[in-house]
Amino acid sequence: MKILLSILMAAMMSTSLFAADKLHKAQLQSDMRLMLNSLVDVQRAGFYNYKDGLLVSIKNLKAGLKSLKSTDAKSYLPKDHKNADRFAKKRVSMIEMYADDLSASVEDGNMDDAFDDFVLLQRQCTSCHIRLRKDF
C-alpha cells in the first residue's frame, strides 16, 4: 500500500512538473510573439510620427521581456548552445536598456536618437537569434 502510494505521488508530481514546464514554454513563446508584434507596432507608430502609439508599443515590448528575464536561459536554449545562457541574459538586459532609452528619446521628441535606439534594440534580438535559433 505504501509503495503504491509513493508511486502514485511520484507520478502526480512528475505530471504536474511536466505540465508546468509546458505552460512555462508556452508563456515564453507567447511573450516572444508579443515582443515581435510590439517591434512592428513601434515601427508603424514611428512612420506615422505617433508619439503615444510609440510609448504604448515600447511598454508592451518591455512587458514581453518579463518571462525572458525570469527564465533560466538554459531551459530554452538548444542543446548545443546551453552554455550561451549568460550571453542570452546579456541580450535581455541590453534590450531593456535600449527600450528605456527609446522611451526617453520619444518623450524628449528626439526622433533621430529614437531611431538609433530602435535599430540597436532590434540588433540585440537578431544577435541572439542568429546565434541560437536553428536555420530553417
Partner 1 sequence: MERRNFLKVAGAGALIAVSPSLLQQKLYASNGKQYIAYERVQLTDAAGAPLKVSALKKEVNYVFNYPYASTPAILLDLNSATSSDVKLSTIEGEEYIWKSGVGKDRTVVAFSAICSHQLAHPTPNDSMLQFVDAKTPTAAYEKSSVIVCSSHLSSFDPANGNKRLSGPAEDPLPAIVIEIDEDDSIWAVGVLGPDRFHEYFKAFKPEFKKFYGGKRKAKKKVKDSAKTLVLNEYTKEIIQY
Interaction site with partner 1 (CB under 8 A): 83-84, 86-87, 90, 97-98, 100-101, 113, 116-117, 120, 123, 127, 130-131
Give 45 or 114: the residue with its C-beta nearer to partner 1. 114
In the complex, least distance from residue 7 CB atom to partner 1, rounded to whole angstroms: 42
Give 22 or 129: the residue with its C-beta nearer to partner 1. 129
In the complex, least distance from residue 97 CB atom to partner 1, rounded to whole angstroms: 5
Residue in 36, 61, 129, 51 with CA at minimum distance from that of residue 91: 129
In the complex, least distance from residue 129 CB atom to partner 1, rounded to whole angstroms: 12
Three-state SS at 135: coil
Please check whether residue 35 is in contact with residue 64, taking contact to mean a CB–CB distance below 8 angstroms. yes
Give 14 or 110: the residue with its C-beta nearer to partner 1. 110
Give 51 or 123: the residue with its C-beta nearer to partner 1. 123
In the complex, least distance from residue 15 CB atom to partner 1, rounded to whole angstroms: 36
End-to-end CA distance of the chain: 52
Give 57 or 103: the residue with its C-beta nearer to partner 1. 103
Give, in order, the Cα–Cα distances in Å from 37 to each of 8, 73, 104.
43, 22, 21
| C-alpha to C-alpha distance for 48 and 31, rounded to whole angstroms | 25
| C-alpha to C-alpha distance for 128 and 75, rounded to whole angstroms | 15
In the complex, least distance from residue 120 CB atom to partner 1, rounded to whole angstroms: 6
